[in-house]
Amino acid sequence: MNAKQMDRLATLFFYLVAILIVCTLIGLLGFILFKGISYISWDFLTEAPGSYILGEVGGIAPMLFNSFYLLILTMIITLPIGIGGGIYMAEYAKPTRFTKFLRLCMEVMSSLPSIIIGLFGLLLLVQYTGWGYTLAGGALALTIFNLPLMVRVVEQAITAVPKDQKEASLALGITHWQTITKIMLPVALPGIVTGTILAAGRIFGEAAALLFTAGMSSPNLDFTNWDPTAVSSPLNPFRPAATLSVYIWKVNSDSLSTQTAAIVSGGSAFILICVVLLFTIFARLLGKYIYRRLTSS
């Protein structure tokens, strides 16, 4: 075989790999979306869950709310720390042993099995603190593997800012900190926003870390009571909260009726996938929009 034929063969091979990946994705999404959409109804989205053990389908409203609320709580914790850490790693950390060690720690942290983080959360955030299963505990557990991701997102976005722009600003007699806030962060913003939303998609679908921290049940929520200290208030961060992913797992393991389990998890999976897809698309659009706003006025 000569070099040209080899080249053609390699090209063909890579095309096939690409097609395989796309087909797998489309097949998977298509299957879930196609199967799931028939279970979706207004009631399914807005009702509380039924007694699924006995075969009642009910709705997923509280779980859907819990998933979003937990995501917001997690972001409130991780965003400031993640941005601070990212700026530190990109701009202030000197290449010392300590910095290398810090990087290693973050890599280990982000690759910890999520069930282990869940167990750790059970010990520390549920039992030791005496909170029981809470949204706050869930958010802190999610923070453990979201934080390294956020730090990396911010660090990469800031490192990608052309060095020239940083120097041009510094050379104008502008302090390092002002250069970071006025030039580098705005230029890095599209990258930070895109990365954050993609990370949010991962949190939104997480189940294992939440089983033993945010718990597998929700109290009866009163969606008219928005006082965050009330027990039945959806906003109370110290209440147990099953998220959508956890609910899928729970229904499948507990329900006596395989049909009910199929309906509930099929519908929930549909919603979960839709939300994550929307996050992904939204991330791209928003990133592009901010970049355009920034580069033209």
Judged by the rule CB under 8 A, the positions of this chain that interact with another protein are: 94-95, 162, 164-165, 167-175, 178, 182-183, 186-187, 294-297
177 vs 226 by CB, closer to another protein: 177
Minimum separation from the CB atom of position 152 to another protein (A): 22
| DSSP structure class, residue 217 | -
Closest by Cα among 109, 136, 133 to 122 = 133
126 vs 184 by CB, closer to another protein: 184
By the 8 A CB rule, do 260 and 57 touch?
yes
**How many CB atoms are closer than 10 A to CB 137?**
26
54 vs 160 by CB, closer to another protein: 160
Minimum separation from the CB atom of position 297 to another protein (A): 4
Q: How many residues would you count in the chain?
A: 297
By the 8 A CB rule, do 62 and 221 touch?
yes
Task: Give, for 132, the enclosing helix (H) or strand (E).
Answer: none
Alpha-carbon distances, residue 265 vs 1, 167, 285 (angstroms): 52, 54, 30
140 vs 193 by CB, closer to another protein: 193
Minimum separation from the CB atom of position 94 to another protein (A): 7
Helix, strand or coil, per DSSP, at residue 76: helix
Minimum separation from the CB atom of position 215 to another protein (A): 46
Distance separating alpha carbons of residues 113 and 116, to the nearest angstrom: 5
Minimum separation from the CB atom of position 294 to another protein (A): 5
Minimum separation from the CB atom of position 169 to another protein (A): 7
Q: Strand pairing partners for 49?
A: 58
127 vs 175 by CB, closer to another protein: 175
Minimum separation from the CB atom of position 173 to another protein (A): 3
115 vs 172 by CB, closer to another protein: 172
Range list of H helices, the chain? 3-37, 42-46, 61-87, 97-111, 114-121, 135-159, 163-170, 176-179, 185-205, 208-211, 244-254, 258-295
Unique residue bearing structure tokens 């593997």:
145
Task: Give, for 38, the enclosing helix (H) or strand (E).
Answer: none
Minimum separation from the CB atom of position 281 to another protein (A): 24
Distance separating alpha carbons of residues 119 and 253, to the nearest angstrom: 19
Alpha-carbon distances, residue 86 vs 61, 139, 166 (angstroms): 36, 20, 16
Q: What tokens does 187 get?
A: 């230029």
Helix, strand or coil, per DSSP, at residue 131: coil
